[in-house]
Amino acid sequence: MGPSIPSGRAARNAWRALNPDARRAAFAAARRNVAPPDVGLAWAAAGYGRTMSRRYRILVALTPVGVAVLMVVAVTIVVAFRAAGPAFLGIPVALLIYVAGMLTLSRRLRRYQRLYNSGLLGVEAAQLGAPVPAPSPAVWATSGYQSEFTVPYEASVPVPTAAPRGPADPVGAGIQEIPLRLGALVAQCAILVVLAAALWTNAAVHLATASSAFSRSISVVWVMLACVMTVLVGFFLLLIIPALRTRVIARFTPSGWELPGARMAGPWAELREIRIRPLNVRQSGRANATLAGYRAVVLMVDHPDGYLARLSRLRRALVRRTMNRYGSPVVIIASPRRTMPLVDLVRMLQRYTDAPVTWS
């Protein structure tokens, strides 16, 4: 279960209850990829950002369908009434409007995804006991019709609080596993394989029908594209086959932790810190917006180079990039859709170790 944040009408009401300065502060925090300065503001921003991003995601998905229907109608008019001139002039205009609309919708979608990500970060930090400022009534707008008997809106906000953390008890915690959810991986693999097969089929057709130097050069281009896609498929399979073999992302036992897919394991005694970071992809705002809700749970271990030395040369090169980005080769991605919510994952780790939880 993820953190409790509002949705639908409740999310809109919470957002409208904020004063304009608080809303601007929430969007400013979202642009910097940090949590808002107030827990109540983070709660409202997370709910409103998630609600609006879902709406825009539906619009982005349905817009091509609507444009396709309009194109079919336009072609039907051309065929039925032989009004080729006006219709063909309108088709490029419709395509330009479609492209402009899609760019606008995508930009708005990323804006609200960043707002959701920022607000959720503040809620998760409060639930895990991070030092966050106390909720302030100043972020909420006060109605001019409010009397002394009116209950202010902020009084109804369920401010997230941290559960008390007891001492670690690895023996009592037993063996816990984070299972791999195969649906998304299988879908991604299928898409890549279909694209590679389509490119090879297209390349074979062009090679078989090439009759001139230009057509043969085009065939070579298609073959090169097919080769590139095949390499990408092989690289993707190289990354996921170990995880598919074990179907476990992480395993925690009284003696230590294990990442079967990465072929790394270590004792709890070498874990000195649990660091939580937003998932960051090359400082790309567009990619980071689509990864809203994803968190990197970094296990800061002693002597991280020793873990790299046990890996093969290729896997060592891949894991070293992770280490350079997050400071440790041991990273578990927390996500409600892919693995498990951040709060649940961190609390599971706290049953095995007393290492402090930090945010960066």
How many residues are present in the chain? 360
- The answer to whether 67 and 100 have CB atoms below 8 angstroms apart is no
Which pLDDT score is estimated for 147?
A: 46
Q: Which residues contact 35 (CB under 8 A, 6 or more apart)?
A: 29, 42, 118, 119, 121, 122, 125, 132
3-state secondary structure of 325: helix
Q: Give the tens place of pLDDT for each residue, 273-303.
A: 999 987 765 444 454 455 677 888 999 999 8
Helices (H), the chain: 8-16, 20-31, 39-81, 84-127, 170-173, 182-209, 213-246, 285-290, 304-309, 313-326, 342-350
- The answer to whether 331 and 257 have CB atoms below 8 angstroms apart is no
pTM over 0.85: no
Q: How confident is the model at residue 85 (pLDDT cuts 50, 70, 90)?
A: low
CA distances from 182 to 50, 139, 189, 205 (A): 25, 42, 10, 34
Provide the pairing of β-strand 331-334 with 248-253. Answer: unpaired
Determine the straight-line distance between the first and last CA of the chain, rounded to whole angstroms: 24
Which pLDDT score is estimated for 268?
A: 93
- CA 261 – CA 243 distance, rounded (Å): 4
pLDDT of residue 37 exceeding 80, the answer is yes
What count of Cα atoms within 13 Å lies in the side-chain half-sphere of residue 66? 11
Average model confidence (pLDDT) for the chain?
81
